[in-house]
Amino acid sequence: MIDFLCAFILGLILYVLIRNRTKIGFISCHAIEGVIGAIVLGVMTGDLSRFQGSVLIYFVLWSWWVFLSSVLEHSLTLRILNSLKEIQLFKTYDMSDEFILRVEKLVRSGIIVRDESRNLYSVKKTSCFYRFDLFMKWLFRIENNSLY
Amino acid sequence: MQTNSLELGFVFFLLELTQLGFLLLFSRIRLLRTTPIMAWLKSSVFALLVFLLLFAGIFDPSQTLWIFLFWLGQIPLLFMWWSTLQWGSSVTMLRVLGCSDFPIDLHKWKQMTSFADKAQDLKDNRLDLLIALKLVRIRNETYEVTALGRFLNSVVKCLRGQK
């Protein structure tokens, strides 16, 4: 039953390679890693009953790995650590950089529209993501959180 | 009873639906309403209990273990979705901008999200956490990254695909 472990390690190596060598995003990298790992596992195990058990354990490992890498990748605390390392000892992370970083990501994703001439920002209210978020906000009665 | 992959996939789907149902209960019903983190914790536990009560008799022991594994695997995935929905900073920025009926400039937007006035508190809070985790230390009134911090930073940079 170490086949799931081999598939997981293979997926992990694949993830690091894709992330370092291409511009593919975080979610897509994990999706590719997960699917290829599961296919490799299927080829390694061969019979279906063994494959079911192995793929479940693989799924548990993979999902916790996605969670851990998400923390490592998106944590503000670790970004502050990175800036301390980069700028050596004297400066700390400027939160304006954090804000600008997020604005650029939102603009790139097409949810936010930037008026280049006046430098003004607005939400593209017809975008699927915005509508989905409004629905989720209503569904789970989420209140606006002023600090992030 | 033997199950095939399709049935197990259906079980997984039902498990997710059950937890979402509990999340709805803990979010919308006034008497049960609680904090987002407690809502998520309670819904995870209740979903597993309901499933074990309903299906433990139907599936054989190994498949009950499979339900548990499904549950264990879906916890981090569902939590990432829930935490983004509740506390995601980009999502909050989007919501704040969405409240405005007309386009606004960057400065105004930043003020509306409290990135401006509470940023220092948040930064101090995170620096305290880094010190507590022994990733950073204070020397001569400046911050210094420890060996452990440097190692973790290298791992993170490798995962992010940074040089």
> What residues does each domain of chain A span?
3-74, 78-139
pLDDT score at A95: 66
A144 in reach of chain B (CB within 8 A): yes
- Classify A140 as helix, strand or coil: coil
- Kindly tell me the sign of the dihedral angle through the C-alpha atoms of A72, A75, A81, A82: positive
Contact indicator for A130, A111 with CB cutoff of 8 Å: yes
Looking at the complex, report in whole angstroms how far the Cα of residue A10 sits from the nearest Cα belonging to chain B.
Answer: 15
Q: Within 10 Å of residue B79's Cβ, how many Cβ atoms? A: 17
pLDDT score at B51: 81
pLDDT score at A89: 47
Looking at the complex, report in whole angstroms how far the Cα of residue B14 sits from the nearest Cα belonging to chain A.
Answer: 16
Give kind and range of the element (H or E) at residue B32: none
Query: Measured between alpha carbons, how far apart are the two ends of chain A, in Å?
Result: 44
Q: Within 10 Å of residue A133's Cβ, how many Cβ atoms? A: 21
The two tokens of residue B20 are 């979402």
The two tokens of residue B80 are 């990432």
Contact indicator for A109, B54 with CB cutoff of 8 Å: no
pLDDT score at A66: 93
Which chain A residues are closer than 8 Å to B104 by Cβ?
A: 120-122
pLDDT score at B3: 55
Q: Point out the residues of chain A with pLDDT beneath 70.
A: 1, 85-95, 144-148
B window 44-83, beta carbon within 8 A of A: 62, 66, 69-70, 72-77, 79-80
Of A56, A73, A142, the CB nearest to B159: A73
Residue with tokens 């139907």: B58
Contact indicator for B135, B146 with CB cutoff of 8 Å: yes
Which chain A residues are closer than 8 Å to B115 by Cβ?
A: 95-96, 98-99, 148
pLDDT score at B162: 66
pLDDT score at B60: 67
pLDDT score at A147: 44
Q: Point out the residues of chain B with pLDDT beneath 70.
A: 1-8, 56-62, 114-119, 162-163
> What residues does each domain of chain B span?
5-87, 91-101+109-160
Give kind and range of the element (H or E) at residue A116: none
Of B73, B87, B130, the CB nearest to A80: B130
- Could you tell me how many helices (H) and strands (E) chain A has, helices first? 6, 2
Pairs from B63-66 (Cβ < 8 Å, separation ≥ 24): B63/B1, B63/B3, B63/B8, B66/A52, B66/A53, B66/A56, B66/B8
Give per-residue burial for B81-108: e unless 16+ CB within 10 Å, then b.
Answer: ebebbbebbbbbbbbbbbeeeebbeeee
Q: Closest chain A residue to B154 measured between Cα atoms?
A: A82
